[in-house]
Amino acid sequence: MTAPITLNNKVGLNGLGAGVWNLGPGNDPFGGPTREAIPMLDRLPMLAEAGMTYYEAHDVEITAEMAADAVKVAKKCGLKCAMYTPSFFAAPIFKDGGMTSNDAAVRKLALQNAIKAVDTTMQLGAKTMVFWNGREGFDFVLGKNGRDAFKRLVEGFNKVGAYAKEQYGSKIKFALEPKPNEPRANMYLANVGEVLYLISRLQPELQPLFGANPETAHSRIAGLDYLWDVELCLEAGKLFHIHLNAQDGQRYDQDLPFGYTEPLKDLALLVVLQDAKYAGPICFDVKAPRVDDPADITDVLTVSANNLVWLWERALAVDRAKIAEFRAANRLTALSGYLAQCLYGR
Ligand code: 3MF
Ligand code: MG
């Protein structure tokens, strides 16, 4: 059985991680910052202090030029880089996407940025580069030719994958992060199935470099079951990374603390991760809420981490033989009651 993760002492199979962007200044689409922005490298010791073993960053947060300093700061506070990711969604030039933009010059720039991010990923010592398709999609039908857009994604990922393979062999892997909508009305790679299909269309020798980064809130926004999305990735051998958080129904992306909204399903998720011996870092994508004071900005991390640790221990105690018995007896409501007992019972 997998050893329990415990906070702060960095034990456990994986360790926990979070993004530097999780400790943002609190702006939302309707209002500016409510806290002073903390310099990116100053966020690393804060992540470590909150119990993280890993940090994550976009290329606009820790730039290639800052990478050498990031390595030093991370080493000093005992942090490792879990993943690095090019931002194709913040800059105005990518307003209609990077790889799928109708403008060939924009596509070229996106590719250049992605290739630069591969080198920085390596420099930071991360094994994974994530792609989240922030602006790849459409608000108006026929705004893009969907079939061409898909081919552009295939072409783009083939080029980035070929570069990484040529330069670094299989040291860098790519995890594509699906999301159905927001900021676009409709996004390409909306769900895990689309990601797996895209991977199946890449050059065969590059396919082993590509996998998925499913995120709890992104599945729940789509009304999908997150655990099944994770199980599908595992079945395909493609669970390359994970973003855990919580989501209060099908509305805007909330990035709430892990464990907040659907603890029973989160418990079941951890049972599945333990049984699969998931060996990647367990990373949160949780946003410090706008109302939290600067002094409490890491509460979102410590609450997520505590919830994870408590649920992890409860998941270890779930009797797998009992699950099998309930299934065999077709007592599925009773199975849900057993899980509730593991969660809430004495
Ligand atoms: C948006 C996200 C992103 C991604 C990030 C790295 C800003 O909903 O989840 O966070 O996680 O771009 O993949
Ligand atoms: Mg995410």
pLDDT tens across 201-241, in order? 999 999 999 999 999 999 999 999 999 999 999 999 999 99
Question: Pocket residues for ligand 1 (CB within 6 Å)?
Answer: 21, 85, 130, 132, 177, 179, 215, 243, 253, 285
Q: Find the 245 Cα to ligand 2 centroid distance in Å.
A: 9
Asked if residue 45 lies in contact with residue 77, where contact means CB atoms within 8 angstroms, the answer is yes
Helix (H) or strand (E) holding 56: strand 54-58
> How far is it, in rounded angstroms, from Cα 283 to Cα 55?
8
Nearest CA to ligand 1 atom 7: 21
Domains and CATH numbers, the chain: 16-318 (3.20.20.150)
Angle at 40 between CA 38 and CA 45, to 5 degrees: 85
What average pLDDT does range 269-274 have in this prediction?
Answer: 96
List pLDDT tens digits, range 65-79: 999 999 999 999 999
Among 58, 61, 130, 132, which is best to mutate for testing ligand 1, by the most ligand atoms less than 8 A from CB? 132
Asked if residue 5 lies in contact with residue 312, where contact means CB atoms within 8 angstroms, the answer is yes
pLDDT for residue 10 is more than 90: no
What average pLDDT does range 100-117 have in this prediction?
Answer: 98
Three-class SS state of 150: helix
Residue 45 DSSP code: H
Average pLDDT of the chain? Answer: 95
How many Cβ atoms from other residues are within 10 Å of residue 140's Cβ? 8
Q: pTM for the full model? A: 0.95
pLDDT for residue 131 is more than 80: yes
